[in-house]
Amino acid sequence: MRELHELTALDQARAIRNREVSPVELTRHYLDRIERLDPRVGAFVTVTAERALEQAAALERDLPDGPLAGVPIPIKDLNLVKDVPISFGSSTYEGFVAPVDDSVVERLRDAGTVMLGKTATPEFGMPCYTETYLSPPTRTPWDLTLSAGGSSGGAAAAVAAGLAPAAQGSDGAGSIRIPASVCGLFGIKPTRGRISFAPIIPDLAGMSTNGPIARNVADAAALLDVMTHNNLGDLYLAPPHEGTFLECATREPGKLRIARYSTPVVPDTEVDPEVMAAYEEASKTLAALGHEVVDIDPPFAPDVVPQFVTLWYAFACMHPVAEELTGRLRPLTAWLRERGFATPAPDFLQAQSSLQLATRFGLMVTDAFDAVLTPTVTQPPRPIGWFEEGDDPEETFERMKRFAAFPAIYNVSGQPAVNLPTYWTDQGLPIGVMLAGRIGGEGTLISLSAQVEAYKGSFWGDRRPELW
């Protein structure tokens, strides 16, 4: 057998069911790798080794049915796990212990997955890079001088470094797709309302959702099956999906009509030539697979950007921070919160109203197609510290907007979207492309992504990070 971390999550679960490996053995393998390698990567903010081994031992006695039973899956540090510290990426919450489980955590536990610990996230999940006052910067394993992105940076870095086979993440403005791109992974932002945030975290504008990050399509689809659920009181419900998402990964998508555009919605944003090369290569791959690829104008206009920014300012204020602890906030967070608290409620409501109107018109364009292709981010992975050069929060925010100029619009619209890790630079750095689908269309995106993966002979091929 290959090294355990070389196996896919589904292969690991199959080996456990066949008694070729035990849950405890697999968990110990990952805990050992985390101890040896994570100081270089910065993927985890909390490691729950004792708890993980207890869970694994219990699974050896009673393994539930399910495709991922016995497999370790870490939880992002924006999600509550009862009796485990949670900081939301902020030193203002240092020492706080979650009083309850998020319902998605319950789903993962009931499915027989093992929680290795909490993965790093930036302060309150607001930035698209993972650098905090709590732990070392989170780095892409493909080049440890470069950022792993955010806000699911720790989740993506853990998977790409072989510290976990797959991971739970969340995405409010590209927070799964951005780190998936810079870490060379497949990540899914599901349709709005597919996965509940119960019992505490509110839905509000419906921008954010939980979702899976993995090295391949089938693992991510299986994890999405486990995570999918709703609870009483959820404000949004996704259209029902027949069958499983994992089945979609084995199903031919048929001939699809795919739109594409590469003009960012954020004005005055340049797209790096390497990113354009990834976009063009993906377009050729889709055409070679028999799909019709059609150029379109961007379905959303630049006037949505200031409306989105208004909401983003307000979202930065959602976590209560005691007055005496505000000095612990990072400069960007403090800058965002200052603007959020200064935003009148009517301005917030008008911004949300404008975004809903833009979505209604945008969906009239995108719904004419089975999928929409764009770049995921506008540049290759950025160096650690690059976003905060100059110590000017406003400049940091502008760099974030331009770097992540494509993914957030699909949080606004609620459409499902995935990152496909299809391209690698001559320096060995991953650059992803994004496919968005119709509301409720995760199955089509998964089938199409699996077809691309098979055509390319797996996303990673023979590539592995040096520390692998």
pLDDT digits (tens, 9 = 90+) for 175-217: 999 999 999 999 999 999 999 999 999 988 999 999 999 999 9
pLDDT at 1: 55
pLDDT at 402 > cutoff 80: yes
CA distance 390 to 392: 5
Per-residue confidence (pLDDT) for residue 54, from 0 to 100: 98
The pLDDT assigned to 357 comes to: 98
Give the pLDDT mean for 4-18: 98
Give the pLDDT of residue 8: 98
Average pLDDT over residues 441-456: 98
- For the cut 90, the answer to whether the pLDDT of residue 390 exceeds it is no
As a whole number, mean pLDDT of residues 402-413 equals 98
- Confidence (pLDDT) at 310: 98
Instruction: Please report which confidence band the pLDDT of residue 2 belongs to, taking 50, 70 and 90 as the band edges.
Output: confident
Which numeric CATH code is attached to 124-159+169-456?
3.90.1300.10
Q: What is the mean pLDDT of the chain?
A: 97
What pLDDT score was predicted for residue 244?
98
Catalytic residue among 170, 175, 413, 449: 175
Give percent of the chain above pLDDT 70: 100
Mean pLDDT of 337-362: 98
Q: If you average pLDDT over residues 29-38, what whole number do you get?
A: 98
Which one of 87, 103, 151, 283 is the catalytic residue?
151
pTM of this prediction exceeds 0.95 = yes
Average pLDDT value for residue range 335-356: 98
User: Is 151 assigned a catalytic role?
Assistant: yes
